Chain A
Amino acid sequence: MKNLNSLMAAYLAVWVIFSVYQFTVSRRLARLKDEVQRLKDNLKR
């Protein structure tokens, strides 16, 4: 099982990179949804 640590590090890197990306997209999406709601409320007034 030579180099198994490197193999695991590579697979971990894949998950870390996509988890971070997914987190940033979800955060931006949530912020925009709040902004749309706020602007719609402002326009109703």
Chain B
Amino acid sequence: MAQAHASSTLSPASAAKPASSQGLETIGVALLLAIAGYCALFVAPTEATMGQIQRIFYFHMPFGITAFVSFLISFYASIAYLRTRAPKWDLLAVSSAEVGVPFITVMLVTGSIWAHPVWGIWWTWDARLTSTFVLWVLYVCYLLLRTLIDDPERRAVISAVFNIFAAFDVPFVYFSIWFFRTQHPQPVIGGGGSLDPRMFDVLVVCWVATLAMLGLLLRQRYRLEALRHEVAQLRMEAGSPGEQL
């Protein structure tokens, strides 16, 4: 059985590092986030048209791109699961999808807060905003779907197929501003736009910080999923299926 086969390689201990090393990494990421916050608020030049509110950009965009990275890891893990049926890929898929949700939530919320003073509205159903909202709904549904299926292998297969379907929205979100006329501005990087070099440097610092945060959260979430897997194994040995934790 695939699950039993994987139990030796999926123990939380294999995903965990010594507490001191984890603590150092957490401090490192916190430091990076503090530097990114400082650069975004005090180092980046003030944008001429929008003023201070434009500084939301330094978190809005990196969090959005990091969410896409997280969903693409999840997409890759789902394909790998369907090819190999190794549970570690299913654990990575769910961990990565779940961690991506708060990142995309930040993108939606900060975008809305930015839109209000600049556009005069909190929200509009244009292609970029709508496809991003659909992406958020798809991944929340993916997480809910997993709670509805008890059989682990069936849950892994069905959710992997759903995840692959959901991930197709990622490139659609990204390219929607090329394909459609939207309220959302055209890209400032890679789309013919321009960005002040100092603004670009701060953007890179902020993106590195959010990627480091993704790495930390993903490892922690994978450890949780591996522990959940161990609980399921122990329950099978004890002969009580129990509830899903």
Contacts and interface: CB of A to CB of B under 8 A. Distances in A.
B128 interface: no
A4 B52 CA distance: 7
B234 A32 contact: no
A39 B106 contact: no
Interface of B: 37, 41, 50-53, 55-56, 59-60, 63, 102, 105-106, 109-110, 113-114, 116-117, 213, 217, 220-221, 223-224, 227-228, 230-231, 234-235, 237-238, 245
Q: Which bucket holds chain A's interface residue count?
A: 20 to 34
A25 B224 contact: yes
Contact of A17 (B51, B109, B116, B221): B109
The 8 closest A-B pairs by CB, nearest first: A3-B53, A39-B234, A21-B102, A10-B113, A10-B110, A32-B227, A10-B56, A13-B109
Interface string A1-41: 11110110111011001100110010011011101100110
B39 to A, nearest CB: 13
Given A17-B105, A25-B221, A36 B231 contact: yes
A32 B231 contact: yes
Interface of A: 1-4, 6-7, 9-11, 13-14, 17-18, 21-22, 25, 28-29, 31-33, 35-36, 39-40, 42-43
B37 A11 contact: yes
Contacts of A39: 231, 234-235, 238
A35 B113 contact: no
B113 A6 contact: yes
Given A6-B116, A11-B37, A29 B238 contact: no
B215 to A, nearest CB: 14
A7 B44 CA distance: 14
Contact of B51 (A3, A14, A28): A3
Contacts of B230: 36
A11 B28 CA distance: 20
Nearest to B53: A3
A7 B117 CA distance: 10
A39 to B, nearest CB: 4
A29 B95 CA distance: 13
B234 A43 contact: yes
A4 B113 CA distance: 11
B59 A14 contact: yes
Contacts of B59: 10-11, 14
Given A7-B56, A35-B245, A13 B227 contact: no
Contacts of A43: 234, 237-238
